Structure 1
Amino acid sequence: MTDYTQLFRLDGRNAVVIGAGSGIGRESAFALAAHGASVVCADVNLGAAEETASAIGAEAYQIDVLDPDAVERLADRDTDVVVLTAAMNVRKRLLEYTRAEFDRVVALNLGATFDVVRAFGRRMVARGSGSIIGFSSIRGTTVEPGQSVYAATKAGLVQLFRTAAVEFGRHGVRVNAIAPGVVETPLTAQIKADPAWYQAYADKGALGRWAQPSEMAGAVVYLASDAASFVTGAVLAVDGGWTAVDGRFEPPEGKKA
């Protein structure tokens, strides 16, 4: 009989969180450690990684995920779970975008993801187990002016992960994506600085507010754990109902159709 009290426990498992220095990555590291995992807190900012690691008694690791060789070196350690949160956005309309900006966003959001999936996936496939967790976005399915390249990379990540799930699945490796809505992180600081913009985003979702990074951590633990043992190739929306809401017009209450 399954011991459901242990369903979300990660004791004895090794996790690597890339982007653990802040935001969703930091909270993911906290949550994985709280459920028993041994965590490596990896980030381009070593000081930030050390701050996260010191809070949970974990290892800090400096990495530039734009360096494929560095990704390979990190993947060489025994890893059961890898979480990738590193991403960037340049908010510009298409006609204002430069090719250099396009290349920069694609290189981090999609290119680095490709390298992480291949490096960690190769070793997990050889071992016969593992969980790879990445972050897409509501922008992978819904767009707005100024989000073209970011949205394209987040949609591309989903298809990359689905393909990896199909190719790795017979080897016991699960690959899933989480699609957050609006979350208060350094990536969204520009929006938070504009009260009207911030409130408009809050009003769009069914819950009428922004998420905190900690509210993404439960999804990470779930996908890392045996609770999700039959979940792969999935995109888990943690968006406060953003993608469920039409948003064009809210009919007055009490009016009959």
Structure 2
Amino acid sequence: MLVTGARGGIGRELCRRLKADGLRVAAVGRDAGALQPVEADLRIAADTTTPEGAQLAVAACQEAFGQAPQRLAHCVGSTLIAPLHRTRAEQWSELRRVNLDSAVFMLGAWIEALRAAGQPGAAVLCSSVVARIGVANHEAIAAAKGGVEALARSAAATYAPAGLRINVVAPGMTETPMTAPMLKVEAMREAAARQYPLGGVQGADTVAATAAWLLSDQASRLTGQVIAVDGGFSTVRPLVR
């Protein structure tokens, strides 16, 4: 099992959950030292926003575990909240590199390894609720995450005959280190929580549980799907009182 972006909230919780299920887990991040608190059998320093880094991550996992990782969770990501007219070209380039380029390179390296080994497998990529429904001031991140979803659907169609399943989780507002600066302001937390029909702000464990299920044999008939873990945000409207 290979988990990228393992230092982040969702990646870290997913590693913990998979380890508890008895799986061998390789955690990937740019800094192996920062991965020490993550529950994993192997910690790999690799920059998966480059093709070389993605290939290194897969190769290191394969060498340590004796086979290509049959499960991949790609949790690398960043965000940007800004209207398009205030989004600089360099901001868009960086956002695309972290969110979309990394998904292309990591998924490609994983597919290549499993095809060479003739093995089936399951992968989960991370999108966002803002790619599912229009949210003001999220144009750039919505475009990048929308690309991730399109990538997963096409790859799922291409590699289904090889027994490779590829799905996506699209979280709503989630309590993670990335969202901590915004959620620490009580007024902003309350405003965010009111937007969700089920109320409140979800924890990373909720998203990780869905990702773990998609990677399991229980989801063996699912591929090319985008599962919104968003408290109903993208599908229903909250009751305003």
Q: Common fold, TM-score beyond 0.5? A: yes
2:142 paired residue number: 151
Question: 1:147 Cα shift?
Answer: 0.9
Which of 68, 89, 100 pairs up with 1:99? Answer: 89
What percent of counterpart residues are identical? 27
Q: Distance in 1 between matches of 2:83 and 2:73?
A: 30
1:24 paired residue number: 10
Aligned residues: 233
Which of 126, 139, 160 pairs up with 1:169? Answer: 160
1:108 aligns with 2:107: no
1:64 aligns with 2:47: yes
Question: Counterpart of 1:60 in 2: which secondary structure?
Answer: strand
2:188 paired residue number: 197
Q: Distance in 2 between matches of 1:241 and 1:229?
A: 25
Q: Distance in 2 between matches of 1:41 and 1:50?
A: 10
Deviations along 1:80-137, one digit per CA (max 9) or x if unpaired, are: 1111111111222111111000100001100111001111012223323011111111
2:226 paired residue number: 235
The structure with the larger Rg is 1
1:40 paired residue number: 26
Q: Distance in 2 between matches of 1:155 and 1:243?
A: 14
Question: 1:60 Cα shift?
Answer: 1.1
Partner AA of 1:24 in structure 2 = I
1:12 paired residue number: none
Greater than 3 Å deviation, 4+ residue runs: none
Question: 1:155 Cα shift?
Answer: 1.1
Q: Distance in 2 between matches of 1:225 and 1:48?
A: 28
Question: 1:193 Cα shift?
Answer: 3.1
2:205 paired residue number: 214
Q: Equivalent residues in 2 for 1:47-86 (5 A)?
A: 47-53=33-39, 56=40, 58-76=41-59, 77=62, 78-86=68-76
TM-score, scaled relative to structure 2: 0.92
Question: Counterpart of 2:44 in 1: which secondary structure?
Answer: strand
1:142 aligns with 2:128: no
Question: 1:191 Cα shift?
Answer: 2.1
Deviations along 1:133-157, one digit per CA (max 9) or x if unpaired, are: 1111111112323211101111111
Contact 1:125-1:168 within 8 A present in 2 as well: no
1:118 aligns with 2:104: no
Q: Distance in 2 between matches of 1:113 and 1:172?
A: 20
Contact 1:29-1:39 within 8 A present in 2 as well: yes
Deviations along 1:187-221, one digit per CA (max 9) or x if unpaired, are: 21232133222211111112211011111121122
Question: Counterpart of 1:242 in 2: which secondary structure?
Answer: coil
Q: Distance in 1 between matches of 2:114 and 2:26?
A: 17
TM-score, scaled relative to structure 1: 0.86
Please, which moves more after superposition, 33-42 or 165-174? Answer: 33-42
Contact 1:20-1:43 within 8 A present in 2 as well: yes
Question: Counterpart of 1:245 in 2: which secondary structure?
Answer: coil
Question: Counterpart of 1:52 in 2: which secondary structure?
Answer: coil
Question: Counterpart of 2:38 in 1: which secondary structure?
Answer: helix
Question: Counterpart of 1:220 in 2: which secondary structure?
Answer: helix
CA RMSD across the alignment: 1.5
Q: Distance in 2 between matches of 1:192 and 1:151?
A: 20
Structure 2: segments with no counterpart, 5+ residues: 63-67
Question: Counterpart of 1:244 in 2: which secondary structure?
Answer: coil
Structure 1: segments with no counterpart, 5+ residues: 1-14, 253-257
Question: Counterpart of 1:155 in 2: which secondary structure?
Answer: helix
